[in-house]
């Protein structure tokens, strides 16, 4: 499966990152997606075939891909077994295209069985019977809740703070010390750049405000694959790897 920070061996120990939507390594730098459009294309394809995961009574699911396969794992409500649908990658096609084709094929089989039996449940069971039964741990499709601080990464960078500092009992003092040290360099009165100082002061104000009332964002998902949340009936893109 593709990793959010999937590393590919390269000459001189260089590393190349794969796009989490199409798998390309070209001009990626350290980005997670090659473009906003590429990420949106996969999301639109996943959303457009939402009916398939819904009729399969999916509680949790994931979508991932390699250079040779795409894979959709689902855990139906009331089941303790994971069902995997595999489809070979097509030359010149992106994972979004292959997913659409796989979903269309499964959808056609569902409708054919529905017409034959006139039973939605039997049609869904017919499709599930065509999946690979995987004895994976349920955590492979049921992610834990990940907590992210609501502080912007750029704010921490400006103040030279680490995310671990957010949990320090001396956080306010760390913020003040960092601000004072940098103000000695960037304050206009000592020849510093006024725009840099403005950003520094804004970051200081934002961090002091956050330290008075710390807030966190709770999310469910995986860093290396797309996650389907059956309770909310939505696909969730891979989460950032930072967990604080």
- Dihedral-angle region of residue 159 (phi above 0 means left; psi in -120 to 50 means alpha; beta otherwise): alpha
d(Cα 222, Cα 15) in Å, to the nearest integer? Answer: 22
pLDDT per position as a tens digit, 59-118: 999 999 999 999 999 999 999 999 999 999 999 999 999 999 999 999 999 999 999 999
Chain segment 195-213, per-residue pLDDT in tens: 999 999 999 999 999 999 8
Confidence at 215, pLDDT banded by 50, 70, 90: confident
- Cβ neighbours of residue 138 under 8 Å, at least 6 residues apart? 75, 80, 82
pLDDT in tens, 135-179: 888 999 998 777 777 788 889 999 999 888 988 999 999 999 999
Domains of the chain by start residue, with CATH: 35-143 (no CATH), 151-214 (1.10.287)
Higher pLDDT, residue 95 or 242: 95
Tell me what pLDDT residue 82 has.
Answer: 95
pTM, to two decimals: 0.70
Query: What's phi and psi for 123, nearest 5 deg?
Result: -65, -40
Q: Are 29 and 17 in contact (CB under 8 A)?
A: yes
Q: What are the CB-based long-range contacts (under 8 Å, 24+) for 23-32? A: 23/65, 23/67, 23/94, 23/95, 32/4, 32/238, 32/240
Residues 3-44 have pLDDT tens digits of 333 333 334 445 567 899 998 988 888 788 999 999 999 999
Q: Which of the four pLDDT bands, split at 50, 70 and 90, describes residue 119?
A: very high
Residue-level pLDDT at 210: 92
Cβ neighbours around 144 below 10 Å, total: 10
């Amino acid at each position: 499966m593709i990793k959010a920070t999937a590393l590919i061996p390269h000459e001189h120990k260089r590393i190349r990152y794969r796009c989490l939507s199409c798998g390309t390594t070209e001009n990626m730098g350290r980005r997670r997606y090659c473009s906003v459009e590429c990420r949106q294309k996969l999301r639109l394809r996943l959303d457009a075939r939402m009916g398939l995961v819904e009729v399969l009574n999916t509680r949790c699911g994931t979508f991932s891909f390699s250079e040779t396969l795409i894979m959709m794992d689902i855990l139906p409500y009331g089941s303790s077994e994971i069902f995997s649908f595999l489809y070979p990658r097509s030359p010149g096609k992106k994972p979004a295209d292959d997913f659409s084709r796989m979903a269309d094929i499964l959808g056609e089989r569902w409708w054919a069985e529905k017409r034959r039996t006139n039973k939605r449940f039997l049609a869904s069971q017919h499709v599930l019977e065509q999946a690979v039964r995987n004895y994976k741990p349920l955590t492979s499709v049921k992610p834990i809740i990940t907590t992210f601080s609501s502080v912007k990464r750029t704010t921490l960078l400006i103040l030279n703070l680490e995310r671990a500092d957010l949990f320090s009992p001396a956080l306010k003092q760390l913020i003040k010390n960092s601000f004072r040290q940098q103000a000695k360099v960037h304050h206009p009165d000592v020849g510093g750049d006024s725009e840099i100082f403005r950003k520094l002061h804004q970051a200081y104000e934002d961090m002091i405000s956050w330290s008075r009332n710390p807030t966190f964002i709770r999310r469910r998902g995986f860093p290396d694959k797309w996650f389907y949340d059956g309770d909310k009936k939505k696909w969730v893109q891979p989460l950032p790897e930072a967990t604080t």
